[in-house]
């Protein structure tokens, strides 16, 4: 595993922003409590940190930690009030007919036996994701996704509901029996066997917050990791 110093995008006395590698959980894994995790590795290098938000294990990209209790309180407020602006790039199976749209679909976290976030117009909580197609690539597309609310697995659930599951995301692609039959077998191949990326196709590429001490707007940008960049290169003509 690389040196945590190499992940740093920004640091001062109040905050630490890093480019999280894919495959590393933000917090300890309940099933593998002794396995490395992001917050633990960073605390060994930088001292005590307060967790403000999380990224899934297989998601790469920018994540910010507080370095003081005061900074933690302020950042928590920003995330709770949706003042923090998050931008993701998603590699999906499918070619959307639209160029831009807001997916406005209520979601219910932990909504089925597999603990997925499910679309539920009746009992779900309001959820919206602004999407823009960046590139169409054969059987795939690169989509910019900006969550306007903060539901668990919001981007995965919204894009899957649009028929655009993330590369590597069998969990959400399988909803509604979509992996059954001949069409389902083809979708499974595109998701896994023939996919250009051997993990979840999601990268947190930018995060904008107000600095908890100065109140200045600050944006952290995380470049693509090697596997994500190589996947796009293989798909481009």
Q: Which residues are catalytic?
A: 56
Strand partners, 15: 66
Q: Are strands 202-210 and 85-93 parallel, antiparallel or unpaired?
A: antiparallel
- Tokens 């998603």 -> residue: 90
Fill in the DSSP letter of residue 194. Answer: S
Q: Which two tokens stand for residue 194?
A: 């023939």
Three-state DSSP at 96 gives coil
Three-state DSSP at 97 gives coil
Q: Which two tokens stand for residue 116?
A: 């997925």
Spatial CA neighbour of 162 closest among 185, 183, 137, 145: 145
Cβ-based burial of 31 (10 A; exposed 0-12, middle 13-18, buried ≥19): exposed
């Amino acid at each position: 595993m690389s040196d945590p110093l190499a992940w740093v995008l920004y640091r001062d006395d109040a905050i630490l922003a890093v480019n999280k590698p894919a495959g590393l959980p933000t917090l300890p894994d309940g099933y593998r409590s002794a396995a490395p995790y992001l917050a633990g590795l960073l605390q060994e290098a930088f001292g005590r940190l307060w967790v403000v938000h999380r990224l899934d294990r297989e998601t790469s990209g920018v994540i910010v930690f507080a370095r003081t209790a005061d900074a933690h309180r302020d950042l928590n407020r920003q995330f709770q009030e949706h003042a923090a602006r998050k931008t993701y790039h998603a590699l999906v199976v499918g070619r959307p007919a639209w160029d831009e749209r807001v997916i406005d679909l209520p979601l219910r976290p932990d909504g089925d036996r597999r603990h997925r976030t499910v679309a539920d117009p009746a009992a779900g909580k309001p959820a919206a994701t602004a999407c823009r197609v960046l590139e169409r690539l054969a059987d795939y597309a690169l989509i910019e996704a900006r969550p306007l609310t903060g539901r668990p697995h919001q981007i995965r659930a919204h894009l899957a509901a649009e028929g655009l599951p993330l590369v590597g995301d069998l969990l959400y692609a399988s909803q509604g029996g979509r992996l059954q039959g001949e069409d389902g077998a083809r979708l499974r191949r595109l998701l896994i066997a023939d996919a250009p990326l051997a993990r979840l196709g999601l990268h947190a590429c930018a995060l904008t917050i107000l600095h908890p001490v100065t109140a200045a707007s600050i944006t952290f940008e995380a470049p693509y990791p090697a596997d994500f960049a190589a996947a796009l290169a293989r798909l481009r003509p």
